[in-house]
Structure formats: structure tokens, C-alpha cells
Chains A and B, each alone.
Chain A
Amino acid sequence: MFKSVVYKEWIKTKWFLIILTFIGLLAVGNIFLKVQHNIAFNDANKYWYLILFQNHHYFKSLKFVPLFIGLLIALVQYVPEIMDKRIKLTFHLPINENKILMMMLGYGFITLLASYALMFFAFVGLSNQVLPTEIVQATISSITPWFLAGFAAYFLVALVVLEAIWKYRIAYFVAASAFMLFYFESSIPGGYNLINLKLILLTIAISISLSFSAYRFRKGEM
């Protein structure tokens, strides 16, 4: 059963996943083309200085990329399920509906993780080539919430999409949007050091929120 669910999800998402990951990697590549260009024109020491003391965020163009990927993957994965109420068929399978949904969510999470990991490690690897540990560490602290936002957006979009009643869907969307702002406060590099762990825990907590939708769904709110 697990293989079948994964295969179904893979059919829905594979091209989006591949193309979005490719776009993500292009965004990372673009950042380092700019870094290389700036170093060539400004000298490395002056460029380091800009980052260390002038609040230059060389990585800022990455800000909404994970969010965009998370949103799109969730839409691609869950919108087809509510069209013609196809997910009802899934829930009639001889398996707990929560288990099925968790499988779908798990699939989405793992594929997103793989996509983000590629981007993240490409970014950190390239950063390490031209920048010192101190800058790379502060940068990791700054980009971590953006990747967490991608996961949170994925879980929350799933929640919104699977909700059947429009007024609640809108209410969920408003509450989720207000929460998503937590990941995008403007800050100096390293400014997210204190909150990152709390955001990780909150993002993990959100991951089980889909079972709320599943329950409403099964109880016939649709």
C-alpha cells in the first residue's frame, strides 16, 4: 500500500519537484555568480567587510524560494485530491485515513527535504569556498527560517486545501499567513540565532496538523 501511495504522489509531483529544485539550484548558482562578480570588482576583503559590518545580505534572493517550492508542491499534491473529491476514494481503502494522509504528507515532506537539502548544501558548500566560517554560520542562521517556512507552508497549504468549507478555508489561510510572517522578520545576520530552535519545534508541531483536516473530512463536513 505504501508503495502505491508513494507512486501516486510521485506521478502528481515529479515534474514540479524536478523543475522547482532545478530553479532553486539556479537561484543558488545565481547568488554565487553575483558573489564572484562582486569579489572581482570590489576585492574579497572589501566584500567580506560589507557582509560583516555593513549588513550586506548576499543570500537575500533566496528568501522566498523555499516558500515558493513548498507552496507549489502542496498545491500540486493536494488540489487534485479535492477536485471531484477524489480523496474520498482514498479514504475508502481498507486502511486508516490518518495513515494514508500521513503517508502523503510524509512523501511530501521527504521530497521537499531532498529538494531543500540539495539547495542548502549547494549553498553552504559554495559559501564555504569563498567566505569564512563566521559569515557562513551567521548566514545559515539567517536562511534556516526560510527553509523552515517552506515546510510550514507545505503543511499549512495542505490544511487549507483539504478544508472543505470556504469560510474556514479563508480563516485558516488568514491565520496561517499571519503565522508565516514569523519566518520572515528582517534581521541582521545571526539575528535568528535565539529563535531558530523554537521555529523548528513549531514547524514539526504543524506537521501533524493535517490529521485535523482528515478528521473533519471523514466526519462529513464536505
Chain B
Amino acid sequence: MKKISRYILVFIAILATSVALPKLYWLAFEKPISRPFIMYSSLEHDFMIQRHENKQFHRTDTKGNTYTRDEFEQKLPLFYVRQLLISGIMPDTINGRAMDTHEIGKARSSYRFKSSYMIAPTPGLYPLFESESGRANLEMPEDFFRITDRMEFVRASENIISEKKSQMFTTVLNNRGFDFPAAMIAGIPTTRKSCDEGYIVVDNSNQMFHIKMVEAEPYVAKVEVPDGLTFKFIACVDFSDKKYYSYLISSDNEVYILTQDEYELIKLPIEGFIPEKEELRIYGNLFNYTVISRGTSSLKVIALDKEYNKVDEYTESWTKLSDTKAGKAASFIFPVELNLSNLNSSFIDFYFERTKGFNWLILNLLLMIAHFFIIRKTGLKPTKNLIDFAVIAVTGIFGFLAVNIFQNKFFD
């Protein structure tokens, strides 16, 4: 019991130090890593790259031509449209097409996906807006819905179920072949959007439905999904051009869009995207989409035309945190780093990251020798402290601190 209690305390101390020490280390030594901003120029048919290095901006294209800020902005007229309009240098035509600010604005879109949006707890309750209220602004409904063994509306003012409305929606869903409960519910649960398009819902059999409320009546449309195609994340969007309802990430990491009204699933030619680890940004304009998938040390940019065909591609990588000076030094100190939070997840958990290589073995060995002398000094027998040595061998500095905070002194 006494020995167990000591090792429990040692274990707790190892956990605590393996979170605290690397955190303090990075707080002291982490330097910002410059990541380039890249956008496809519909004018130059090339990628325009802006870097921030040594507190200065460097603007180039992929051929190595360098640009001033004004020149750079002029190469991306559809991205910097406001600036060019203010400066009075917005071109009248691009690629033979007359520029109309209304059209430019309508075609503009921007979307950002982060892994932590996907790996996150779901609210479980959602507001179903009236899609055709006849009002200029959307209004927050009185009730919120859940889709468990039926579609249920809970009236917030009394915290009770609106039985009639629940039955009405459940009946329509049943008639459309909905298999309860819902596996995924995606929508834009805010009144701050141009209009309401309800929710894209995946049922228990991976069937996809579009559910909204039109003049207080249910609107349910089934989306035809090819056999075997399943999705792990759906993000609804509210873009002015109203071309599609949502971006969808399939189980095999392909990115799709779901077109408006026709409910057609179109696969975007984005390869190698890992949604669990990478961020995705999609910028649209009158002529192209720029799709940027970015990991911790590299990014890939794909330019698509308006028919979603790939027209160009650019990749770039930069020094990983672990390959910087501070990262290399850390590899000699910490065998592992423990974090409770993770950029790629909204959940708190124990996230272990093993240090690349075995540089830390040197320090572990030195600490074992140091521990040997500490034990000798206190008059204990090293042979009776073999577990402590094993703990230091594996956990290094964390174990060394832990076994010396909670000493083995009275167990001989």
C-alpha cells in the first residue's frame, strides 16, 4: 500500500511536470514561424505569395518576380477590390469580362475549416428558422429541435416539447424514409445570415436529407448520395452566389460541395487533405477558387476554375517547430510532451507527443547517474531502487523530478 501510494504520487508528478515543463519551455523559447499567404491571381494565372520575414513583407510570384504592396494588390484585383476602388485603379475588365462591383461581391466567398470544428462536442439542439417569413431579418424561433428517436421541438419559455410541431415534422421525415436518430446535423444556427436554408441532416443509415421550415410547414428533401459515400463533416455556407449549400468532407477525406436546388454532390479535386490535422481555406471569386490546405509545416494551394477543375497547384513547406533551434534543444530535454488541449480538437484530453529521435536518452542516462549518487548519498541501496531507475530511464527529467520529490527514503 505504501509503495503503491508512492508510485501513484510519482505518476501524478510525472503527469504534472510533463505538462508544465514543456509549456514553460515553449513560453520562453518559441519563436513565431512565418507562414506565407498565397492566393491565385486570375489576372496573372499564377500564385501570388506574401511572406513576413525579419519584420518585413516580401511579395513574389512562383517565378521569383518581386512586387511592391501596390503591385501585389493589383495582381489580385478581386481580392483587394476595395483598396483598388479607393485608389481608383480597379481594372475595367479582367480576362475580357467587364468588372461590375455587384457581380464581384456576389461571386466572392471565403470559408475556413479547422480540425477542431470537426472534432468537437455537438450542441444536440438547434433552432429551425422560418425560411420564408416575409420579413427582412431572420428571427430566433421560440423552440429548438433535436433528432433522436423522432424530431422533437422544445419550447424554451416553458422547457417543454411542442407536441404538435414535433409530430408534424416526425411524420414527414418518416414518410421520406428517415431512419432515426440523426447521425449528423449541419446548419448555420444564427440569424446573422442572408437567408435560411435549414439543415443538412445525415440519418442513422447514412441517408442525407435537407430539412427546413417553409411557412410553418416542414420541407424535407432527400439527397441522393452514391453508394458507399459517407461524410465525417458537413459545413453549411451562406454565399451570395447561392451555388451550393455546403462543403462536405467524406470519410476518405475527399471534399465535396452540395449544389443548391439540384442537390448534386460534386467532388473537388483536392488530394492529400487530412482533415484531422490540417486547416482548409477556400476563397472564391468571379473566375477561380483558391483552395489552401495547411498543416503544421507545409501547405498546398490548388486553383480551380468556376467548373471546379484544377488549373494550377503550388506546394510549400517550412521548418517544423521540432527542427528549429529551440525544437532541437527540446529533443535533448523532453522524451515526450503532454498537453491537455490540442489545436486539432475541441476536447480536453491527454495528448501525448513523443519527441522525434532519441536525443533525450543522453539526459536520461545522466539523470540516472545523478540519481545513483543521490541514493548513495542518502545511504540507500541502488538495488532497492531499480524501479526508480527504470522510471527515469523512460520518462527522463519528469521521472527524475518525480522520484526525488516523492523520495523512496523509507522503503528500504
Contacts and interface: CB of A to CB of B under 8 A. Distances in A.
Contacts of B62: none
B348 interface: yes
Interface in A167-222: 168, 171-172, 175-176, 178-179, 181-182, 185, 187-195, 198, 202, 205-206, 208-212, 214-216, 219, 221
Contact of A212 (B5, B156, B402): B5
Nearest to A141: B121
Contact of B156 (A48, A134, A182, A205): A48
B156 A172 contact: no
Contacts of A190: 121-122
Contact of A43 (B1, B157, B340): B157
B350 interface: yes
Interface string B133-156: 000000011111010000000101
A125 to B, nearest CB: 13
Nearest to A220: B410
A44 B157 contact: yes
A86 B160 CA distance: 58
A138 B121 contact: yes
Nearest to A135: B125
Interface in B1-36: 1-2, 4-6, 8-9, 11-13, 15-17, 19-20
Interface residues of B, number: 48
B4 A208 contact: yes
Contact of B410 (A52, A185, A219): A219
Contacts of B125: 48, 52, 132, 134-135
B64 to A, nearest CB: 45
A164 interface: no
A180 B400 CA distance: 20
A179 B15 contact: yes
A98 interface: yes
Contacts of A121: none
Nearest to B17: A178
A202 B1 CA distance: 16
B57 interface: no
A179 B12 contact: yes
Contacts of A88: none
Interface in B164-215: 189-190
B77 interface: no
A192 B340 CA distance: 10
Contact of B340 (A45, A48, A182): A182
B121 A189 contact: yes
B140 A45 contact: yes
Interface string A117-144: 0000000000001111011011001000
B271 interface: no
Nearest to B127: A49
B1 A98 contact: yes
A37 interface: no
Contacts of B80: none
A156 to B, nearest CB: 9
A211 B410 contact: no
Contacts of B347: 187, 191-195
Contacts of B157: 43-45
Contacts of B1: 98, 208, 211
Interface string B366-407: 000000000000000000000000000000000000100111
B159 A130 contact: yes
Contact of B2 (A44, A130, A171, A211): A211
Given A45-B144, A171-B405, A189-B121, A198 B12 contact: no
A166 interface: no
A179 B13 contact: yes
A37 to B, nearest CB: 15
B281 to A, nearest CB: 22
Nearest to B401: A175
A128 to B, nearest CB: 8
A175 B17 contact: yes
Given A208-B5, A212-B406, A175 B146 contact: no
B142 A188 contact: no
Contact of B346 (A47, A48, A191, A214): A191
B410 A175 contact: no
B405 A175 contact: yes
Given A53-B189, A190-B121, A202 B348 contact: no
Contacts of B156: 43-45, 47-48
13 contacts: A43-B157, A48-B125, A175-B13, A175-B402, A176-B16, A181-B19, A182-B16, A185-B341, A192-B348, A206-B8, A208-B1, A208-B4, A211-B1
Given A48-B144, A159-B9, 19 more contacts: A48-B125, A52-B144, A132-B154, A137-B124, A138-B121, A172-B406, A175-B17, A178-B17, A179-B13, A181-B16, A182-B19, A188-B346, A189-B121, A190-B122, A191-B347, A191-B348, A194-B348, A212-B9, A221-B409
Q: Which are the 10 A-B pairs with shortest beta-carbon distances?
A: A190-B121, A134-B124, A178-B16, A44-B156, A45-B156, A179-B16, A219-B410, A212-B5, A194-B349, A215-B2
